[in-house]
Structure 1
Amino acid sequence: MREIVVLSGGVGGARFTRALRDALVDEDARIRVVVNTADDMWMAGLRICPDLDSVTYTLAGVNDEQRGWGRVGETERVSAELHEWGIGWPWFTLGDLDLGMHIARTSLLRDGVPLSGAVSRLTARWDLGVELLPMTDDEVETHVLTDEGSMHFQEWWTRHRAQLPARGFEMRGAGSATPAPGVVEAIESADAVLLAPSNPIVSIGPILAVEGIRQALAATRAPVVGVSPIIGGSVVRGMADACLTAVGTATDAAAVGLRYGARSAGGVLDGWLVDDVDAAEVPELESAGIASRAVPLWMTEPEAARALARDALALASRRG
């Protein structure tokens, strides 16, 4: 059985993982996905896990493809009622079906079940075809440093649409967090480790900030291959450019690959996929010790997405 590990954020990572699962449907393979939990927060007494839920809903086929997040066919009566009481954030609306997930998860957490255990129990409702692992059972939350003070990442991202210039990012709790059960073992025993085209700063960055995960990536015998979230100098989705600017990295496929760095030089990458339009950047990446290939990255159609997943595996096989 081929063992594949994916490091993933939310929507982009969810779509890439779905494509990978579908591309391997006829093969003997196990896919385990280490998901960012630093977007998580407490709100209205509930533990909200946006990236975990985005990946779950997408793999279950119950996500809202039009909005790009949440459950399809949602109503928002409960959120509206909570807002009447002044509870929660009026700019952060949770659907009623989504609230069901948050209530169930919080109930398990209150009963002493760790997040990884809650994820296992909640995702068993659907045949996802992959195993989801939170990066840690500990509470880690990303806060954004701005001229108006520090705020939770969700406030900066959702309320302000990343328009407030960020001066930096703080992953609170990451320094003392430990990998969730199974995370290090999955990476160390993998045949390939893939970094999804997720935000490198606030999605993949927090995963790498958990003590033990970066070390596992350094030690694994598996090739580590990433997919650029930048195409032709623009973000694929979201506002990753604002995050990159805040840490002094250009919104550029090669710049992001070089920020991750070559594993042979203390970074995390053996290989890096860029889009065809960025083919001219391949020599720079190769000279830095990162095997690179230019392929179509847009996941506009299911077959295009599956082709991208196969390209990532092919580059990993070349480096294996």
Structure 2
Amino acid sequence: MSGRVVVLTGGVGGAKLVLGLQQLLEPANVTAIVNTGDDFTHLGLHVSPDIDTLLYTLSGKSNAAQGWGREGESWNFLDALRSLGGEDWFMLGDGDLALHVLRSMRLARGESLSAITADFARSWGIAIDVLPMSDQLVATHLDTDEGVLPFQRYFVGRRCQPVVRQVMFEGAAQAKPAPGVCEAILADDTTAILIAPSNPYLSVDPIFAVPGIRDALLAARAPVVAVSPIVGGDAVKGPTAKLMRELGSVVTPQAVAAHYGDVLDGMLVDERDARVNLGIASVHVDTLMTSLDDRVRVAQAALALAAGIR
């Protein structure tokens, strides 16, 4: 496929798809728009988990076994912190700290998150455009049976155990798309826009919540194709299925397609899920991405579906 491919992404599943695209396409022709609703301040440091997961994955530095964090990480800082009675519920490895310290230092000087992210990517030889969804802070909060919890307290601190009633994105109404985000979506040379198999509520909805991004997707000339995060009626990992049930949805690709609504032109559905009419173009394939070959195969199938729609 020639032209630019834009992918909306968050979490480990999203990073896998972008890695597959990196193998198939000229990296300079790929733009990843990354969820930053997970960003938070911890121990005085600005942490951007989804951006960092993608940077680690594309640069070959990620921990392959767990899918997040750095390979060969050490924990001397955390051990020292714990010995002093510091908060240790969120794991900060020694190598991981470099990103957070540099990012926090540069943000304090008034630099933008998008400029800092671009520099990090360049330093690690990543040619893909990695764009945060916004340079302004958008914070995901969840209204649960334990009260309102910031995303990381829910996801890491409480391991997704509380029952969720509502997902909210504080600051979204005042935020603006980061430079290049809407431009990539609307560019004449963009031939496909993919929504990664990320959590629709926690990774994709924060991107949609930034004013202007959903409108750009609706106005885009390129087809918008989602890769379903559902495999055989369940989620591969994470709280997607649990969250869908708690918010009153059934755990099916149809429900995900309905959630995204008129933004979607097509969906890649796992072969283990029922073949039903989604009201949009769809193709069933094996969407599990265990190996690098799997990631390439799923990326290729998503691009083929987009090309067929186009």
User: Structure 2 matches for 1:129-140, cutoff 5 A?
Assistant: 129-140=127-138
C-alpha deviations, 1:247-284, integer Å up to 9, x for none? 222111221112112xxxxx210000101111423x2x
Higher mean C-alpha deviation, range 201-210 or range 237-246? 237-246
- In the alignment, is the contact (CA less than 8 A) between 2:28 and 2:128 conserved in 1? no
8 Å Cα contact 2:53-2:62 kept in structure 1: yes
* Amino acid in structure 2 at the alignment position of 1:3: R
- Residues 1:274 and 2:281 are matched in the alignment: no
* CA-CA distance at 1:29 after TM superposition: 6.1
The Cα offsets for residues 173-227 of structure 1, whole Å up to 9 and x where unpaired, read as: 1111110000000000121100000000000010001000000001110000000
What is the distance in 1 between the residues matched to 2:242 and 2:84?
A: 34
- Contact 2:28 2:127 (C-alpha < 8 Å) held by counterparts: no
CA distance in 2, matches of 1:160, 1:301: 30
Q: Work out whether residues 168 and 246 of structure 1, in 8 Å CA contact, stay in contact via their aligned partners in 2.
A: no
Q: Is the 8 A contact 2:33 2:130 kept in 1?
A: yes
After TM superposition, list the pairs within 5 Å mapping 1:115-134 onto structure 2: 115-134=113-132
Q: Which residue of 1 aligns with 2:290?
A: 300
Q: Is the 8 A contact 2:177 2:210 kept in 1?
A: yes
Report the counterpart of residue 250 of structure 2 in structure 1: 250
CA shift for structure 1 position 15: 0.7
Q: CA RMSD in A?
A: 1.3
Q: Write the distance in 1 (CA, Å) between the matches of 2:292 and 2:64.
A: 13
Q: Distance in 2 between matches of 1:40 and 1:243?
A: 20
> Which moves more between the two structures, 245-254 or 136-145?
245-254
2:28·2:129 contact (CA, 8 Å) conserved in 1?
A: no
Q: What stretches of structure 1 of length at least 5 have no aligned partner? A: 262-266
SS at match of 1:278: coil
Per the alignment, residue 213 of structure 1 pairs with: 213
Q: Distance in 2 between the 1:141 and 1:277 partners? A: 35
Give the drift of 1:64: 0.3
SS at 1:193 equivalent: strand
Contact 1:202–1:243 (8 Å) recurs in 2: no
Local SS of the residue matching 2:299: helix
Answer yes or no: is the 8 Å Cα contact 1:21–1:129 preserved in 2: no
Larger deviation, residues 131-140 vs 142-151: 142-151
Residue 69 (1) aligns with residue 64 (2): no
Q: Distance in 2 between matches of 1:297 and 1:253?
A: 12
Who is 1:33 aligned against? 32
**CA deviation digits over 1:102-152, x for unaligned, max 9?**
001111101110110110111111122311000000011111111221111
Match of 1:291 in 2: 281
Does residue 308 of structure 2 align to residue 313 of structure 1?
A: no
Q: Secondary structure at the match of 1:34?
A: strand
* 1:9 equivalent in structure 2: 10
- In the TM superposition, 1:105-184 aligns within 5 A as 105-184=103-182
Residue 58 of structure 1 pairs with residue 53 of structure 2: no
SS at match of 2:74: coil
Q: Do 1:279 and 1:294's aligned partners in 2 also have CA atoms closer than 8 Å? A: no
| Partner SS state of residue 248, structure 2 | coil
Report the Cα distance in structure 1 between the residues aligned to 2:84 and 2:111, rounded to whole angstroms.
Answer: 30
Confirm or deny: 8 A CA contact 2:218 2:263 kept in the other structure: yes
In 2, the alpha carbon distance for the partners of 1:239 and 1:110 equals: 33
Percent sequence identity is: 43
- Alignment size in residue pairs: 307
SS in structure 2 at match of 1:122? helix
User: In the alignment, which residue of structure 1 is the partner of 2:225?
Assistant: 225
Q: For residue 175 of structure 2, what is the amino acid of its counterpart?
A: A
The residue type paired with residue 230 of structure 1 is: I
CA distance in 2, matches of 1:42, 1:2: 37
**Partner SS, residue 119 of structure 1:** helix
The alignment partner of 1:280 has SS state of: coil
CA distance in 2, matches of 1:148, 1:307: 41
Is the CA contact 1:250–1:256 (under 8 Å) kept in the aligned structure 2?
no
Tell me if structure 1 keeps the 8 A contact 2:4–2:29. yes
